[in-house]
């Protein structure tokens, strides 16, 4: 082989070797893959935690919103009632409320976790499908010759499927008869 041929072969070999050393080795690739897998696992856990917290916050919000709505509905009935038939006497406590408002007989009661309002033409659910109402108690207080006060207490709990923690709140209101 001539001297020039050896020189050209050496140059080609040097170029191939230089290209190989400029790449990444299998060890470096495994390290990058390991770091990427750890980062994905951490980000996945963070994402799942955010989703769970979002469900908890939404559940709390639904319970509070339903509780306020029910509270306002009962307060309206009591404050605008011409008469309250149940609870009937001072000191009585019942699980339903019956009152006459604007000449219409209304009944508020719980059945299977749903708070219903009956106006004589049908039963209407007051709470949403995402909540359950329990422990309803309506009581009458006051003086024998004076105006009476009706108190209501109940518990609203979340009923969303797939959540581990059930959110619940107790509500208590009082309204005076006119």
Q: How far apart are CA 130 and CA 62, in angstroms?
A: 7
What is the bridge-based pairing of β-strands 114-118 and 123-125? antiparallel
Task: Report pLDDT digits (tens) over 7-62.
Answer: 555 555 555 555 555 688 999 999 999 999 999 999 999 999 898 888 888 888 99
3 lies in some domain: no
Residue 78: inside a domain: yes
Q: Is the pLDDT of residue 65 over 90?
A: yes
Domain housing 110: 28-176
What pLDDT, on the 0 to 100 scale, is given for residue 71?
95
Task: Over range 100-114, report the average pLDDT.
Answer: 94
Say if 15 falls within a structural domain.
no
Say what the pLDDT of residue 16 is: 53
Give domain status of residue 20, yes or no: no
Give residue 100's pLDDT: 94
Q: Which residues of 145-167 are buried (b: 16+ CB within 10 A; e: fewer)?
A: eeebbbbbebebbbbbeeeeeeb
Is residue 7, in this structure, part of any structural domain at all?
A: no
Q: 45-59, 120-134, 156-170 — which is least confidently predicted?
A: 156-170
Helix (H, G, I), strand (E, B) or coil at 83: strand
Q: Is residue 16 part of a domain?
A: no
> Is 119 within a domain?
yes
pTM of the model: 0.73
Position 104 scores a pLDDT of: 94
Given pLDDT bands bounded at 50, 70 and 90, which one contains residue 80?
Answer: very high
Average pLDDT, the chain: 86
Percent of the chain with pLDDT over 90: 61
> Which residue has tokens 């699980």?
95
Check residue 54 and give its pLDDT.
Answer: 83
- What whole-number distance in Å separates Cα of residue 130 and Cα of residue 37? 38
The answer to whether residue 134 is domain-embedded is yes
Give the chain's domain count: 1
| Half-sphere exposure at residue 141, Cβ-oriented, CA atoms within 13 angstroms | 11
Whether 125 shows a pLDDT value over 90: the answer reads yes
CA distances for 164 relative to 102, 119, 157, 158, 161, angstroms: 44, 37, 13, 11, 9
Alpha-carbon distance of 70 to 67, in angstroms, equals 5
């Amino acid at each position: 082989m001539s001297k020039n041929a050896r020189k050209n072969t050496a140059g080609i070999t040097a170029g191939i070797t230089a290209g190989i050393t400029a790449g990444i080795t299998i060890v470096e690739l495994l390290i990058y893959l390991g770091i990427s897998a750890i980062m994905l696992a951490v980000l996945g856990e963070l994402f799942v935690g955010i989703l769970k917290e979002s469900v908890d916050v939404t559940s709390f919000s639904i319970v509070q919103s339903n509780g306020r709505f029910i509270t306002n509905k009962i307060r309206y009935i009591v404050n605008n009632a011409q008469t309250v038939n149940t609870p009937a006497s001072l000191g009585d406590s019942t699980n339903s409320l019956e009152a006459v408002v604007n000449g219409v007989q209304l009944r508020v009661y719980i059945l299977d976790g749903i708070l219903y309002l009956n106006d004589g033409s049908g039963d209407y659910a007051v709470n949403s499908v995402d909540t359950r109402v329990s422990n309803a108690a309506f009581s009458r207080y006051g003086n024998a010759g004076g105006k009476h006060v009706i108190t209501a207490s109940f518990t609203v709990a979340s009923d969303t499927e797939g959540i581990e923690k059930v959110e619940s709140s107790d509500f208590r209101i009082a309204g005076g008869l006119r």
